[in-house]
Amino acid sequence: MTDNKKVVVNKGNLEAGVETGVEIVVETVVTTVVETVVTTVVETLRDRALRYHEEPRPGKIALALTTRADNADDLALAYSPGVGEPVKAIAADPETAYRYTAKGNLVGVITNGTAILGLGNLGPLASKPVMEGKALLFKRFADIDCFDIEVDTENVDEFVETVARIAHTFGGINLEDIAAPGCFEIERRLQAMLDIPVFHDDQHGTAIVTAAGMLNALELRGKELGAARIVCLGAGAAANAIMNLLVELGADKANIFMLDSKGVIHTEREGLNAEKLRYAQVTNKRTLADACEGADVFIGVSGANLLDEQSLRNMAPNPVVFAMANPDPEIKPELAKSIRDDVIMATGRSDYPNQVNNVLCFPFIFRGALDVRATRINEEMKMAAVHAIKDLAKEPALAEVIAAYDNVDHLEFGADYIIPKPLDPRLMNRVATAVAKAAIDTGVARIKVLPIYK
């Protein structure tokens, strides 16, 4: 007699040694003679991600040689005695470092691990996979080389001093995953101290892509940015950068209501930092539902499921909702559309239309800035990137872009396509060129010839 049973066993029911999140399917065949247990492991995202980072060799990046090192003469030129000649040239004229070293195509991706993605303050070492991932994206999309650097301090002075002392190594610095409000001061001070671009992507990359999509969404709804009433749920680095850029593009600060964990930021509140004070309103609005009354735009950079049904209903006709909390947005698109069939939605997720993804801009902003040796990334360069991304979404999508995405057979400018896809190869030409031109036009470029990208 045989008794066949199939059971799903969760981790809590197993002995130690089973990986978290792994579902085990156990086939138990019981006979009068022997009991056999056959175990099949169903792979989870966690397993796939860990294996991806471990194999075929640990990590995601490595150095590559750019010149010969095949014989004794090559080695004599690469190191002693030949290396002494570029050393002397650079000592005599520091600008020749761009000619004789990799400085001009090298970006430092630098963090202290205090705000790692949506995971919080897990420290500098835990942030290394993210920094390597950023380096991978720089290389994949713009052929920019990177060193990832994880600085073990939460002290602003120490962090700034560390970065400033190693800055000669790089042509630009990308700050990453640094918690507010320290990130604001760190970026400001480094920009003032250094003559290379310093760019906090969590702030400005998010702002640029958000602004590009927002301008397109408002255009589709027949609304003007200058007249739009905007609610921003979140008051950290990304929120402030988004609002600042929207104001630069024409939004009226008097129409912006920003909320933090305590509600609407208003002038009667005490203890507000300088960034929050900039958006403090004279108002009796206190809650999200209050702020959403008649609002044209909701921007969420906060947490999951925080935009409730009543707040969405309170918004003006044809609202625009950018719910960008990751991995779970402030409201899921399917729920939002069941409440308001006139809403245009964007999220930070790739499995919904209109993903706000920083990779649409940061590789190409640095590409353009590096190629004209810009001393900084200024507001004009950011706005140039906004318009380049915005305009690309209006062009016919390439067949190769459509083919690269599962379950996508058509892309056309409209409510479900207001932002280009990250794999659109035209981004390099459009964004990098626009950024480089803006750098030249505003006098921050040391090379005055516009680069040509294929």
341-345-347 Cα angle (round to 5): 150
Domains and their CATH numbers in the chain: 3-50 (no CATH), 94-196 (3.40.50.10380), 217-454 (3.40.50.720)
- pTM higher than the cut 0.95: no
- Partners of 117 in beta bridges: none
H or E element in which residue 24 lies: strand 23-30
Q: Which amino acid is at 95?
A: E
H or E element in which residue 346 lies: strand 344-347
Note if 88 is an active site residue: no
- Distance between CA 440 and CA 386 in Å, rounded? 17
Of 417, 424, 416, 373, the closest CA to residue 398 belongs to 424
Note if 79 is an active site residue: yes
The pLDDT tens digits for 121-153 are: 999 999 999 999 999 999 999 999 999 999 999
State the catalytic residue, choosing from 134, 382, 421, 437.
134
The pLDDT tens digits for 189-222 are: 999 999 999 999 999 999 999 999 999 999 999 9
Q: Residue 406: which pLDDT band, with cuts at 50, 70 and 90?
A: confident
Q: Residue 40: which pLDDT band, with cuts at 50, 70 and 90?
A: low
- Distance between CA 253 and CA 236 in Å, rounded? 17
- Distance between CA 446 and CA 406 in Å, rounded? 43
The SS3 of residue 7 is strand
State the catalytic residue, choosing from 11, 79, 100, 253.
79
Q: Residue 396: which pLDDT band, with cuts at 50, 70 and 90?
A: very high
